[in-house]
Amino acid sequence: MTTDWLPTACILCECNCGIIVQIEDRSIAKIRGDKDHPASQGYTCNKALRIDHYQNNRNRLTSPLRRRDDGTYEEIDWDTAIAEIAAGFSRIRDEHGGDKIFYYGGGGQGNHLGGAYSGAFLKAIGSRYRSNALAQEKTGEFLVDSHLYGGHTRGEFEHAEVSVFVGKNPWMSQSFPRARVVLNEIAKDPRRSMIVIDPVITDTAKLADFHLRVRPGTDAWCLAALAAVLVTENLCDEAFLDAHVTGADAVRAVLREVPIADYARECGVGEELIRAAARRIAAAASVSVFEDLGIQQAPNSTVCSYLNKMLWILTGNFAKRGGQHLHSSFAPLFSSGGVGRTPVTGAPIIAGLVPSNVVPQEILTDHPDRFRAMIVESSNPAHSVADSAAVREALQSLELLVVIDVAMTETARLADYVLPAASQFEKPEATFFNLEFPHNTFHLRHPVLDPLPGTLAEPEIWARLVRALGVVSDEELRPLRAAAERGLEAYTEAFLVAVSGNPALGRVLPFVLYETLGPSLPDGLAGAAALWGLAQKAAMTYPAAVQRAGHADGNALFEAILNSRSGVMFTEHEYEDDFALITHADRRIALEMPDMLAEVAALRTAASVLTTGEFPMVLSAGERRAYTANDILRDPSWRKRDTDGALRISSTDAAMLGLVDGGRARVTTAGGSAVATVEVTDVMLPGHVSLPNGYGLDHVDAEGHSHTPGVAPNALTSTGWRDAYAGTPWHKHVPARIEAATAR
CB burial of 147-181 (b: ≥16 within 10 Å; e: otherwise) equals bbbebbbbbbbbbbbbbbbbbbbbbbbbbbbbbbe
pTM, 2 dp: 0.96
Q: Are 509 and 423 contained in the same domain?
A: yes
Q: Are 413 and 553 contained in the same domain?
A: yes
Q: Are 447 and 544 in contact (CB under 8 A)?
A: no
Q: Are 543 and 631 contained in the same domain?
A: no
CATH of the domain at 17: 3.30.200.210
Q: How many percent of the chain have pLDDT more than 70?
A: 99
> Which candidate, 678, 682, 688, 732, places its Cα nearest to that of 201?
682
Q: Are 708 and 592 contained in the same domain?
A: no
Q: Rounded distance, CA 611 to CA 738, Å?
A: 13
Q: Are 402 and 524 contained in the same domain?
A: yes
Q: Are 193 and 288 contained in the same domain?
A: yes
- Examine residue 105 and state whether it is found in any structural domain, yes or no: yes
State the amino acid at position 479 in one-letter form.
P
Report long-range pairs for 41-49 (Cβ below 8 Å, ≥24 apart): 41/177, 41/178, 42/18, 43/17, 43/177, 43/178, 43/180, 43/181, 44/10, 44/17, 44/19, 45/17, 45/174, 45/179, 45/180, 46/626, 47/10, 47/12, 47/13, 47/629, 48/10, 48/12, 48/17, 48/19
Radius of gyration of the chain (CA): 25
CA 490, chain centre distance (Å)? 37
Which range among 4-8, 405-409, 711-715, 739-743 shows the weakest confidence by mean pLDDT?
Answer: 739-743
DSSP run (H or E) holding 256 = helix 248-256
Residue 386 in this model has a pLDDT that exceeds 90: yes
Q: Are 425 and 493 contained in the same domain?
A: yes
- Examine residue 407 and state whether it is found in any structural domain, yes or no: yes
CATH of the domain at 200: 3.40.228.10
- Examine residue 352 and state whether it is found in any structural domain, yes or no: no
CATH of the domain at 707: 2.40.40.20
- Examine residue 389 and state whether it is found in any structural domain, yes or no: yes
User: pLDDT tens across 194-222, in order?
Assistant: 999 999 999 999 999 999 999 999 999 99
Q: Are 697 and 623 contained in the same domain?
A: yes
- Examine residue 88 and state whether it is found in any structural domain, yes or no: yes
pLDDT at residue 338, as a whole number:
63
Q: Are 623 and 734 contained in the same domain?
A: yes
Q: Rounded distance, CA 443 to CA 510, Å?
A: 19
- Examine residue 503 and state whether it is found in any structural domain, yes or no: yes
- Examine residue 662 and state whether it is found in any structural domain, yes or no: yes
Give residue 743's pLDDT band: very low, low, confident or very high (50, 70, 90).
low
Instruction: State how far the alpha carbon of 364 is from the alpha carbons of 343, 347, 359, 368, in Å.
Output: 13, 15, 9, 11
CB burial of 543-552 (b: ≥16 within 10 Å; e: otherwise) equals eebbbbbebe
Q: Rounded distance, CA 313 to CA 240, Å?
A: 9
**Domains contained in the chain, number:** 4
Q: Are 396 and 468 contained in the same domain?
A: yes
Q: Are 154 and 176 contained in the same domain?
A: yes
User: pLDDT tens across 63-111, in order?
Assistant: 999 999 999 999 999 999 999 999 999 999 999 999 999 999 987 777 8
pLDDT at residue 1, as a whole number:
60
Q: Are 700 and 670 contained in the same domain?
A: yes
Residue 14 structural domain: 6-55
- Examine residue 267 and state whether it is found in any structural domain, yes or no: yes
